[in-house]
Amino acid sequence: MKNLKILIIGGGIGGLTSAIALRRGGHDVTVIEKDPEWSVYGVGIIQQANVIRAMAELDLVDDYMAAGVPFNKVAIHAPDGTMVAEVPMPRLVEGYPASMGIGRPALHKILGDRTIASGADVRLGVTASNIDDRGDCVSVSFSDGDEGVFDIVIGADGVYSDTRAVIMPEDAGPEFTGQSVWRYNFSRPADLDALHVYNGPIGAGLVPINEDLMYLYLTTPEPDNPRYEKDCLAENMCEKMRSHSAQAIREMADDITDNEGVVYRPLEGMMLRGDWHSGRVVLLGDAVHATTPHLGQGAGLAIEDSIVLADELGKHDTLEAAFKAFRDRRFERCRYIVDKSLEICRGQLGKGPPVDNAEATADMFKLVAQPI
């Protein structure tokens, strides 16, 4: 199918990479994003070899590499901080590293700039107030009073997807795991050249994101899903870190001083086991397979979704065939990541057997190295 008129709901990683991939296919693309500031929080993100391969396919890899820090291994630590394994990461693109860390604002700028340069229409501070699938098209009413008619609507609006709620009202949505993640940026030691993962009831990781910064993530048991006051986030994160088994993590606690710099998120997961579309409306990314961050693949899966969906739309004569092929290519890979990440989470919480992180990480690398 060619020259489709496509609406993408959501201007995050999945929505923007979808816009880029679809514009490369010659489609007319509009992106709406509810945040009028189009902002992202300021900590980092891990991007593994399959994402670097995807960025090369989208012709973004050089801009991408210039904005982050490459690394080629994961260092696994026991709860007390003892390093127990180094897992090499596979390189999937010749001449490029196996993985990298990058600040979310830097990644967002790269994707946003390329989306605009591609000719996509980006509208900020706008939501879809009504989606009417008429069979031969989709009529959409927008929150700013405008209306539009599209061949396809793509819901890339995250784990709390309003689009999913419209087309699949029976779906239960995401489920809280009993664990939350805290993130904060620190000065980067000169010798930090890998992703460092600390196992235990309180998990932690250190990720370099640029020449000067790294970010730390901390996963903590939060069985009652509490809501922490914003003006106490730094104090609360310090308390969590001081109870960590590893001295290296405990020693960083006093450097957490800025409430605005702390990013706290309850970890929720979901996996749509059935169809990923209804009629002319299709979902991707966290809207269908929201994973906890234990294998670092959430954004990577959304980026891969974007490329595969654009590819399948170009291969088929009907939307039904394209959407089915998209889901069939993606389902097992995404299911594995969601389920294994949740298994690691439950092991950390004592809700299941402990998972060997080195083994799980190595298995994940083998899986995502396979073609998409």
Condensed to tens digits (0 to 9), the pLDDT of residues 326-335 reads: 999 999 999 9
Q: Residues near 101 by Cβ (< 8 Å), separated by ≥ 6?
A: 44, 45, 46, 47, 68, 69, 71, 195, 207, 208, 209, 214, 215
Range 192-197, long-range pairs (CB < 8 A, 24+ positions): 193/71, 194/71, 194/72, 194/73, 194/74, 194/75, 194/86, 195/46, 195/71, 195/73, 195/74, 195/75, 195/99, 195/101, 195/296, 196/74, 196/75, 196/77, 197/74, 197/75, 197/76, 197/77, 197/357, 197/361
Q: Among candidates 294, 318, 289, which has minimal Cα distance to 304?
A: 289
Say if 53 falls within a structural domain.
Answer: no
3-state secondary structure of 158: coil
3-state secondary structure of 262: coil
Pairwise CA distance, residues 165 & 154, whole Å: 13
Pairwise CA distance, residues 73 & 349, whole Å: 26
Say if 151 falls within a structural domain.
Answer: yes
Buried/exposed code over 68-78 (b: 16+ C-beta within 10 A; e: otherwise): bbbbbbbbbbe
Q: Read off the DSSP letter of residue 261.
A: G
Angle at 216 between CA 92 and CA 44, to 5 degrees: 55
Pairwise CA distance, residues 323 & 148, whole Å: 22
Q: What is the pTM of this model?
A: 0.96
Say if 130 falls within a structural domain.
Answer: yes
Could you list the residue range(s) of the whole structural domain that residue 307 is in? 5-40+106-174+270-353+360-369
Q: Read off the DSSP letter of residue 37.
A: T
The distance of Cα 362 from the centroid of its chain, to the nearest Å, equals 20
Contact 127, 143 (CB under 8 A): yes
Question: What order of strands is seen across the sheet that includes strand 147-150?
Answer: 128-133, 138-142, 147-150
Q: Residues near 224 by Cβ (< 8 Å), separated by ≥ 6?
A: none
Contact 364, 301 (CB under 8 A): no
Residue 358: per-residue pLDDT: 84
Beta bridge partners of 148: 140
Say if 61 falls within a structural domain.
Answer: no
CATH number of the structural domain spanning residue 19: 3.50.50.60
Q: Read off the DSSP letter of residue 342.
A: H
Domain count within the chain: 1
Say if 162 falls within a structural domain.
Answer: yes
- Taking only the tens of pLDDT, the chain with its 372 residues reads 999 999 999 999 999 999 999 999 999 999 999 999 999 988 999 999 999 999 999 999 999 999 999 999 999 999 999 999 998 998 999 999 999 999 999 999 999 999 999 999 999 999 999 999 999 999 999 999 999 999 999 999 999 999 999 999 998 889 999 999 999 999 999 889 999 999 888 999 999 999 999 999 999 999 999 999 999 999 999 999 999 999 999 999 999 999 999 999 999 999 999 999 999 999 999 999 999 999 999 999 999 999 999 999 999 999 999 999 999 999 999 999 999 999 999 999 999 999 988 899 899 999 999 999
Say if 311 falls within a structural domain.
Answer: yes
Say if 183 falls within a structural domain.
Answer: no
Say if 15 falls within a structural domain.
Answer: yes
Contact 81, 122 (CB under 8 A): no
